[in-house]
Structure 1
Amino acid sequence: MITKITKFITPALLTLCFAISLNSCKDKPKKESTIVEEKVVYPSDIIPFMDEFKILCGDGKSYNDLVDVKHDNFFYVENDGTTDWVVYKSPNSGVTSRTSSNTRTELGQKKEWLPDTGGKLTGTLKVMHVSTSGDARVAASYAVVVGQIHGTEGHENEPLKIFYKKFPGHTKGSVYWNYEINTEGDNSKRWDYSTAVWGYDMSVIGDTPTSYPEEPKDGITLGEEFSYEINVYKGIMYLTFKSEGHETKTFTKSLIKTDFGKSKELPEQIKTLYASIGRDGSERENAYAGELQNFKQGAYNQTNGKDPEENMVWHTGSETYDGDINKQYKKGCYTEVWFKEATVGAGTPPEE
């Protein structure tokens, strides 16, 4: 009898336990799924001096406060697999500043300084793209300015512009720097004197719109890292350029005493390069002394859609697709520069 009761009770108990177990599972709260949001990395996370700069982007968007700010497709952070870089990207045609016909995505230093007081700007960068459209006879074609000293008084000229330029079809491009004279009198006669760092200076151009000079043997390729230091101390500008596998180059130039005054003969480079547009001015004796300056850094695109026949030095005749920025990006009509390090501060005594 006991055995029969046991046989009857056991299945009943098992059924009851299973029902209780199901109920108990239903009563337990469901575990919420955890969504991990990817942290946004801003340019100010990579280069901490952003609080000392403002920016104008290639679509005309400007920001005066750059802490925790990015602007997609113009000013943002990219990782190359090992390192975060701040990206500056600018089309051939967009919205630009009042003093230029060239488009830029470029930092502008808020603080201004006199050449006598000085300042220092450094940058470690690689140029990833320059416009593939332009006129090879025009010096500014296929080029981007990656660092500047810019005057904010007087003629508002530029005592320094650091360029990277690469002709279509070439593997290596050139790095060079230009000094624009602070013209005495009428500024319409102004010109830039160009000095090669690696590769050519600005005056090396093509014979026809689509023919190019020989590729520079000691040039810098797209994506190849290099660095510059601009150190202005007591009115003298000291420039240092470094890149692994290339000779370190240094230059010195006074910003308070001219090398290009009335009594001096016009440099041969200027006679040749600027002859077609009639620029043959002289510089005032004290150059940029007493005039406020600031630093700029980023991607100041030198290509534009203006007619080369009107200016064979600066009007590059580049394709702009009627200002359609997306189309320019798609067709290679833009410039893109990546910086991984940069500093700004006071000028320092040059190393002996």
Structure 2
Amino acid sequence: MNKKINSVIAKFLVVCLFLAVQSCKNETKDAKKSTELSTENVAKKVYASDVIPFFDDWKLILGDGSNVGVANNFENKDFFYTVKEGNENWVVFKSPNGGDTHGTSNNTRTELAQMKKWYPKTADDKLTATLKVMNVSATGDARVAASHAVVVGQIHSADKHENEPLKIFYKKFPGHTKGSVFWHYEINTAGDDNSGRWDYSTAVWGNDFSVVGAEENTYPEEPKEGIALGEEFSYEVAVKDGIMTLSFKSEGHETKTFTKNLIESEYTTTADIPEQTQKLFVPLGQDGVEREGAYTGEGCFFKLGAYNQTNGKSPDVNKNWCSGAETHNGDIEKQYADGNYAEVWFKTGSISVSEAAVSNEGYFSKND
């Protein structure tokens, strides 16, 4: 009888031991699987530099005015991150109406600034991008030309007045389905006083900068050939031997190409000031003329991102650039909640930098 009991006990112990060993193995497998899943999740994280691998050429300015430098393997959930839509990854640049700004600007930006500068006369430099604008400010005085607009690409001077031979805009009024894409040339003002500087705007699809509302909350007619929020378009900016060539493409829209001489001005006398400028800028005292050599001898560099053109400053200060929009005293969360921000998604981008380009560190030292 005792032998039977002992045999049963022995078998029971063997079974228990087997189950315990199996349990340990399963726990080890589960732990390994959990580790693998955790590693997989980490590996799946996509940074902007994975989507568009050109960040070695840029420093990133955020919507709080800070310069984070080279943005490889970097994200900031308020201003700069990636999203996946279907099978495509996009880089998001987001900037509120109100907050800390970079340099002397009135406007916030989440924007890349090129780390080298080049000189238009000897340049052979190029910037390309494919993007879509997802939001522009919900508020702003409709009479102010900059309201409801964002700049998505630039050429900026690093020297003297630090003016801008190129700004590429997208602008859409509230209630409209389609917005406008246009580009600006800002004169490089003659003399030491830059207060007389002005922009000349050229329409790509839709209207130019000068088309504004008759009253604070009255909007002009919606552009028939415009671009909707969320609609892709691309631009190419090439500067070679002093000539800037711009190309704009979007499916279902006419491809547009423009050229502008950056080293020989067409605005050297008061008589040269165009009618559009007479309407927009001259009444504000911005009636300067340009240096004969335009941007000759000045280092220039590319910018790309979301440079929000809508701000909270009173239109009484400047009827072209001060929007009087809602900023919630700089509270980013509140601005994002009620649409008072600019958001631009980029899918592709490239930059070609000539061997003649030199360090742009002086610009950052002055403006950071």
Q: Same fold (TM over 0.5)?
A: yes
Structure 2 unaligned segments of length 5 or more: list them: 355-368
Larger Rg: 1
CA deviation profile, 1:207-250 (whole Å, cap 9, x unmatched): 00000011000000000000000000000000000000000000
Equivalent in 322, 325, 341 of residue 315 of structure 1: 322
Q: Are the aligned partners of 2:190 and 2:290 in contact in 1 as well (CA < 8 Å)?
A: yes
Equivalence for 1:93: 98
Equivalence for 2:219: 212
TM-superposed deviation, 1:107:
0.2
Q: Are the aligned partners of 1:126 and 1:225 in contact in 2 as well (CA < 8 Å)?
A: yes
Equivalence for 1:300: 307
Equivalence for 2:181: 175
- Number of aligned pairs? 341
Amino acid at match of 2:177: T
Amino acid at match of 1:95: D
Amino acid at match of 1:322: N
**Is 2:57 aligned against 1:63?**
no
Amino acid at match of 1:303: T
CA deviation profile, 1:141-186 (whole Å, cap 9, x unmatched): 0000000000000110000000000000000000000000001122
Equivalence for 1:19: 13
Taking the aligned partners of 1:268 and 1:61, their CA distance within structure 2 comes to 39
Taking the aligned partners of 2:166 and 2:205, their CA distance within structure 1 comes to 17
Q: Are the aligned partners of 1:92 and 1:328 in contact in 2 as well (CA < 8 Å)?
A: yes
Equivalence for 2:150: 144
* Correspondences of 1:180-219 after superposition (within 5 Å): 180-185=186-191, 186-219=193-226
TM-score with structure 1 length normalisation?
Answer: 0.93
Q: Please provide the CA RMSD for this pair.
A: 1.6
Taking the aligned partners of 1:14 and 1:215, their CA distance within structure 2 comes to 89
Taking the aligned partners of 2:174 and 2:203, their CA distance within structure 1 comes to 19
Amino acid at match of 2:20: K
Q: Which structure features the higher share of helix residues? A: 2
**Is 2:247 aligned against 1:240?**
yes
Q: Are the aligned partners of 1:102 and 1:302 in contact in 2 as well (CA < 8 Å)?
A: yes
Equivalence for 1:350: none
SS of alignment partner, residue 337 of structure 1: strand
Taking the aligned partners of 1:98 and 1:226, their CA distance within structure 2 comes to 29
TM-superposed deviation, 1:19:
3.2
**Is 2:83 aligned against 1:78?**
yes
SS of alignment partner, residue 144 of structure 2: coil
Taking the aligned partners of 1:148 and 1:190, their CA distance within structure 2 comes to 17
SS of alignment partner, residue 155 of structure 1: coil
Taking the aligned partners of 1:339 and 1:150, their CA distance within structure 2 comes to 20
Structure 1 unaligned segments of length 5 or more: list them: 348-352
Equivalent in 270, 281, 284 of residue 274 of structure 1: 281
Q: Are the aligned partners of 1:143 and 1:301 in contact in 2 as well (CA < 8 Å)?
A: yes
SS of alignment partner, residue 21 of structure 1: helix
Amino acid at match of 2:202: T
TM-score with structure 2 length normalisation?
Answer: 0.89
Taking the aligned partners of 2:270 and 2:68, their CA distance within structure 1 comes to 45
TM-superposed deviation, 1:99:
2.4
Q: Are the aligned partners of 1:276 and 1:312 in contact in 2 as well (CA < 8 Å)?
A: no
Taking the aligned partners of 1:338 and 1:307, their CA distance within structure 2 comes to 29
Equivalence for 2:364: none
SS of alignment partner, residue 48 of structure 1: coil
Amino acid at match of 1:26: A
